[in-house]
Amino acid sequence: MKNNYVLLFFLCAAIASCRKPVADTSPLIGTQAAANRAALSASVIFTNALPSSDNGSYYDPWVITVGGFYYYCGSDGGRLWITKSATLQDILLQPKTYIFTPPPGTGYSAELWAPELHYRSGRWYVYFAADDGNNANHRMFVLEGGSNANDPLDGGYVYKARLSAATDRWAIDGSPFDFNGQQYFIWSGWEGTTNVSQYIYIARMSNPYTISGERVEISRPDHAWEQVGTPTVNEGPTALISGNTVNIIYSASGSWTNDYCLGRLTCTNGNLMSKSSWTKASSPAFSRFGNVYGPGHASFVKSPDNIQWWIVYHAANSDGSGWNRRVMAQQFSWDGNIPYFGYPIEKGIPIPAPSIGPNYAMPIANGVYRIKSKVTGQCVDVPDGAPTPGLQIQQWTDNGHAAQKWNFTSLGNGYYKITCVASGLNLDNAGGLLTAGNILIQWTDNQNIAQHWRVQDMGNGYFKLINRRSLLALNVPYSNQTPGTKLEQWFENQYDAELWQIIP
């Protein structure tokens, strides 16, 4: 059974599908729009899935940023390739540079899967799974490339080694990482010699192309949300490290099902080689929503300005399409040292591209503004300007009162603190809840991320305000035109009820 949060999550999704757009009643036009726009810079808008040059199926996306460019390392099953792009959203439109075609008759001649590109110990390496034409013989292998840290395409790639632990079993989806001066390798494998279930394993490495010692199991599919499909699956592990906390984001359930999803393991004591050191989140970290089915096998990059965090993942092209998949991308946030991905933003929803400078990540200059709804023409308002912590935020007729004036203060990390001038209290996601429909209140400044807001410039003088804790948007419920309507947070969508003018 899914836990209550997951059930509530999908109930809210069902409600969202019933909400209807309402015609815009208060557009800014002409020179007035130019005068009132508060944005410093606006990112390009794109929609998922990411376009590709051949409109083909893409899977197991591995993306890194190097020297101001994005690099995608992929496979067509028989060859490995890399693309290079100045923008994340266009990365699959760029020409492919084929870096490796295996010779026939080897243990790595067929079914090349999930390549990952890493710069380690002064050289570039590509880690991939392959076999001899028999899936039962899948193992991990590594290519070695050039030494130019700023360009993974400077120099060719040659076969370097097979990576095997002391217990040599079926293995795919390998990924290396370093922690506290030690090199590690994580992958998905079988416990025995038959395909019963896929577990996540970890082992130490003595160099970028050698596993040293025995493997240790750190995860197996033991929750219901990990057990959809047969055989049961944990795969695609990737490390996300923050301080002394190591998070491993992995894929769970059958990749051919709609319920393929991401899970999270976390270790905080530094003893990575002990299964007891790892805590598994009890619910999925990222799972199907709306028209996004089977989201999984993710990689993680920052925006070109090093401010925003982005998750790049694959999802099924449609309900039930299984391995016919495309690549998608969206922002995520951190709650302390734990990543929070929210929910998949549905295909076709406008998204600002990764920011290329602070004025893109934080497009509003510090100052006092009114926040005016596109759909109702009313302003975000503290009732009577009362300085009462916990008072619910409403919309009200634009009247110029201090209760409708909000001081935006950039936190320098892509988020703002938004403080009511009349009350001196902050716009807050009540209780820091993750659920759509949760109320918004004013509260004493407490440094909690429930009081942090991302400002997304959606173009034409309108913005979305996204709560850092929930990754949900400031919304007028059902586009209600009634003054005094209490405001909420809701899933990002294409409706005007989430669009706001930010007016000096």
Q: Which of 389, 376, 456 is nearest to 420 (CA)?
A: 389
Asked if residue 485 lies in contact with residue 477, where contact means CB atoms within 8 angstroms, the answer is yes
Identify whether 217 is a catalytic site residue.
no
Identify whether 235 is a catalytic site residue.
yes
Q: How far apart are CA 44 and CA 419, in angstroms?
A: 28
Q: Which of 351, 352, 332, 355 is nearest to 471 (CA)?
A: 332
Asked if residue 444 lies in contact with residue 436, where contact means CB atoms within 8 angstroms, the answer is no
Exactly one of 60, 144, 173, 428 is catalytic; name it.
60
Q: Which of 321, 320, 324, 328 is nearest to 349 (CA)?
A: 328
Q: How far apart are CA 330 and CA 336, in angstroms?
A: 20
Percentages (nearest 5) of helix, strand, coil residues in the chain: 10, 45, 45
Taking CA atoms, 54 is separated from 50, 160, 348, 353, 386, in Å, by 12, 31, 19, 22, 58
Write out the two tokens for 296: 């999984």
Exactly one of 90, 116, 226, 235 is catalytic; name it.
235
Q: What is the largest CA-CA distance in the chain?
A: 78
Residues noted as catalytic: 60, 235
